[in-house]
Structure 1
Amino acid sequence: MRKSGGRRRKGKAGSQPNSPSSSNTTFEPLPSPKTPEKSSPLEPKTKLKPDPSNESYNKNKNEHVTIVSRQLKLVYDNDIRLAHTPMNCSFKVLRDTIKKIFPLLNSFLIKYKDNDGDLVTITSTEELRFAESTVDRNDSIGVLKLNIIEVSPEDEPPLLKEEEKDNEKPKRVDRVLDEKDGTTSESNKVEEMDDWLYEFARLFNSHVGTNESSDLRELGTEFCSEALEDIVTCDEALDLFEKAEFKFQEVAALAFFNWGNVHMCAARKFVRLDENENEVMVLKESEFDFVKEKYYLAREKYEQAVVIKPDFYEGLLAIGQQQFELAKLHWSYATANKIDLGKETLRLFDGAEEKMRAASDMWERLEEEKLDEQGSSGMRSQIHLFWGNMLFERSQVEFKLGMSDWKRKLDASVERFKSAGASQADVSTVLNKHCSNGNAGDGEVKGSSRTPNVIKMMK
């Protein structure tokens, strides 16, 4: 046959290290029913070129063209491999080929994507032929993409009896390339590979530093990891790491803070107030124990939030709130049941004031750094209001216990109310309701810290 289109790659049998046949793959008309020589399944697919001057070509251009192998793309999880099988091979040959490529696979399913985009399982040779027909065209053999899915042995479809009896010898079959309408010169073409493609592939692999058997995807992942490692170890990345650490710390502290709020809400649900929402009504002992346990759980979560983020002043405010409400609960329960809980109540008030003072100092330091005057004024008012209500309630408890220091606590609470921006009328109303004036109930400035939403949950 005469050469066409420049120098073609020629070679004798055994010249290619990985091929048992000639390195020049040509698809020529089959002159006789003799068994053709076996070609390497690794030979590349080549461009079709006709040679009109070849008498043998013109004479036999309507005869069969021999196609030796089919190229496969095997996808197993994140591993993608290329393979070849004999044309029209059986289902068992396909399975054996896959097992050679993925030797660790024991039981698996073979699926292909049909024209509707669905993954269809192949269980027989007939179904394999149908899968091949979805990628083949009139004048070309398509690359068949197969998805390999590992399954348990009982889920693997068994081979049919006719598949098991097949001797499974590689077959070389003839495929007729149908002519397109009006394009007789474009069909039935002889395939050849130019030498420059081989040289280019060799130079490319040599320049990149890879070999033919290497997994390019794995190499790309390694190069990406090396590049990221250089980036994350540079000085610019340290600042980003510190910011990320701060954000995660804040989110973790906020999670425990809100967890504690859940326990506080559960406790408040069982605390029944009188019609003026001032005095805690009589609780049963079981109810008192349940509410007290919820308060203790809330404090535990608030303390964990402060441990995670030491400058989390909201957590300290919440602990002060918990101590204050628990002190009120103890005093009301002790008064109703004639129990002496005065020392325990005062201890809880001391704890609430201590946490309030620590939270206030921490907040002041943070505000000096932020210099956000608008946001700071609102929080400052809330802190003074909460502190004033706590001192007011304590002054009433100390008055009922006959302690002489109650008046100083009352005056301090008035100063806190004024600092919070309370009107003189509200302050006078609260003072008139103090138990020292002979009133049974206690008073609170509007917006008392006993309400659930006085300490805003962070967003």
Structure 2
Amino acid sequence: MVHKGDAAHNEINSFQSKAAKYKREGDAHFGKRNMREALASYGKAIEMSLSGTEEKAALFSNRAACYLMQNMYRHAINECSHALNEAPDFKPALLRRARAFEQLQQYDRAVSDLEAAAKADPNSDDVRKKLQATRAARDNRKASRSVSGLGGGGLRAPGKRGTQRLTPAQQQAAAAAASGQGQGQLPTLTIKATLVRGEAAETKNVVLPISVRYKDIVDQVRNLFPDDLKEQPFALKYKDAEGDLVTVTSRTDLRGALSAAMHHAEQRAAATGVQRPRDAGLAPVEVEVVPCAKAPSETPDQIIPDHVGSRDHPPNAEDEGAEDVIEIDEWLLTFAGLFRKHLGEDGAKEGPLDLRQIGLEKCCEALEVAVGTDKAKELLGAAADKFQEAAAAAIFNWGNVHVCASRKVVDCAAPAPEEGQPTPSDEQMAAAAKDHIKRIDDEYEKAVERYKQSLAIKSDFYEATIAWGQQCFERAKVYHFAAKAGDAAAAKEADVMFDLAEVKFQESLAMCPKEDEASTSGEGEAAAEQPGNLGLKAQIQVLWGNVLFERSQVRHHRGDEKWQVDTDAAVAKFNEAGCSKDDITKALMNHASGVWKDDEEAAKAKAGGK
């Protein structure tokens, strides 16, 4: 007989075994740079792992590493956050999320994660140095040094995989490299190759065109060390932004190496406070020459995998990083040279071009000519009207926030009404009037203040007067319930609110645009059967009628004979709006007076109006 505890233990062991198997598969795919397969394997392992363990945190962190290899930094941040939910002090996840934040130039968040990593492992010199460098980068950025660059920070350059946004310093270097093209010069790339022989190391430089092929780099490096590499296969490796060694097997990897070189140069500048000269060009790419048994095969340059977008593989979220790609390649640098030549005497002869400043100057020149035309005056006037309306709408919506808050107070004052009952229920209104009248008043005053501001900006902003009138109506109903509970002053306040609601709806009708004044009144039964056809004027009349109808019920409750006058006025408003005769009849049969409760014919006659 198997005990339940033994069965559970065996089941847990089985899941852990499967998780370990999928993790090994993921590690193998990661080593081969099969990121999609690695992500899938790590995902399966996560499903088999126990929550709240470092094993599960490590799997999420491994998925983050996959996304970092593809420069999909927001995905990496998401995975690291999952990892830290499982194990809050998990150092690899903190370091990887810090790296992603740093690449997005969110230095404060990067520093926060590095501080947490340093606290988790206080003896780590690597973490301490990384924290110091990132703090320096953050402080340097906050100093807001004035730099110019291509496109004002919008340029993107590919990293090892996917895309990476260049920092201002990197943009400067790229611009400086392009500046020589005005005289027909091609930008160059410096490779610093280091060969380690036992305890000794030798570094040699080679300068190559930016358009160099991977095979040409290999041949040039072999020529640098002819005695050591004549018959010896070797691999070229560079350190990425995280300090990991990455093998170069294509021009795509070379671009990643260049991006990493710019990153390291910027980190050194931030740490030392010594900035690279603006005309220094691209940072040298440092590679390590590693002898091996078999030289790595060259991989083709492929930004978007062949299968993406095929019939059998529709695009998904993991493909997003491969779509937004603009390469810093020969075409871009050539274009920069052509642009400089086109500017002629207007352009700077040396140094980087500030395309943003040039573009603004050209735009201003064009505006100076065009702004005085009659067409421009017409457009500027239309633009002013739109901005005025947008400002009024923004403050109006601010007021609506307070209206929603007051309605929430009423809705939460008592349990929700049962199905078929009006919302809010009498119980909710009574509870709100008893316990929350001051809060409702405060929200009302705040809403009205915003509506007044909105109307001050745009005097014919009828949306504000409509909302104001509706808010008065709702407030009057709450005060009626307070009066029913014995508050004599509340009855007077309810009357004030009913009267003010009428005034606001009357003002709304006066503001109603002519094109929106269409009402279904006088259009026969066909129009009455289609209440959705009601124009703005008709909708305001319906709201006004609701105020009158509700006040007639309140007055009937008080024994005031004027309730019949209000009822007649409400019916008249409903008819003016073109409401369905059946709807008016049903409303009369539900009137609190009970006069038409059991006499449908009388209610129909009343609904027909005079």
- Provide TM-score, normalisation by structure 1: 0.49
**Which one has a larger percent helix, Structure 1 or Structure 2?**
2
What's the TM-score, normalizing by structure 2?
0.38
Looking at both structures, which has the greater relative contact order when contacts are Cα pairs under 8 Å and sequence separation is at least 6? Answer: 1
